Amino acid sequence: MKKQHVSHAVIRRLPRYYRRLTNMRDAGIERVSSTKLAESLGLTASQIRQDLSCFGEFGQQGYGYNVEALRAEIATILGVDRGYNAIIMGAGRLGQALMYNFNFAAHGFNLLAAFEGDTEMVGTEITGIPVYHHSKLEEFAAEHPIHMAVLTVPQPVAVETADRLVALGVKGIWNFTHVKLVINDPTVQVEKIHFGDSLLALSYMMSEE
């Protein structure tokens, strides 16, 4: 179903569509026009139709979208239904904050384990997820396929940790460190989360008044 060359901008908008449609579904809304959906996202209806046209035909002319059906289609496009396994490398403050507050399952990821250095966390469970010493990573990976790893290790070990993950066949790294990773394997995707971009957008909005 997917076409080639879906732009970066479209890839960034899809999660927003998914999030909005999930909220609509949870609010009991069954049908939405592209105009209404666009308005709620600060986009134009033609933008949304154009974005979705990258992936096939959705909705009926003059009839709008079935919220649940469109949501399910976008879930499939985003890979939410693939059952990816995930681990967390680094159960420090940020790693723990994600374990306590972020719903991996709702985004299609099964969080299997966390790995830490020589800290008191090792051997415990956090929110039901076991924390192992990082030296056990390869042993663990031999028994459980790992598709994605959250990188919340300290800066100095970010690169060597990423290299270990790539060697184990991990296909996605969610990078929360400040280190820019250079991965030579083109099948490995790295997503860096930029808190700063969000704060600067807020700063802009505060300065606009």
**Interface residues with its own copies (CB under 8 A)?**
2, 6-9, 11-12, 14-16, 18-19, 42-43, 77-80, 82, 84, 92-94, 96-98, 100-104, 106-109, 147-148, 171-172, 174, 178, 187, 189, 191, 193-209
| Identity of the residue, 136 or 154, whose beta carbon is nearer to its own copies in the bound complex | 154
| Identity of the residue, 31 or 107, whose beta carbon is nearer to its own copies in the bound complex | 107
| Identity of the residue, 142 or 206, whose beta carbon is nearer to its own copies in the bound complex | 206
**Least Å from the CB of residue 193 to its own copies:** 5
Of the candidates 187, 178, 139, the one whose C-alpha atom is nearest the C-alpha of residue 158 is 178
**Least Å from the CB of residue 63 to its own copies:** 27
Distance CA 115, CA 91 (A): 7
E-strand ranges in 106-194 read 109-116, 125-126, 129-133, 148-151, 172-175, 189-192
69 residue type, one letter: A
Distance CA 81, CA 77 (A): 9
Long-range contacts of 119-124 (CB under 8 A, 24+ apart): 119/91, 121/91
**Least Å from the CB of residue 61 to its own copies:** 26
**Least Å from the CB of residue 12 to its own copies:** 6
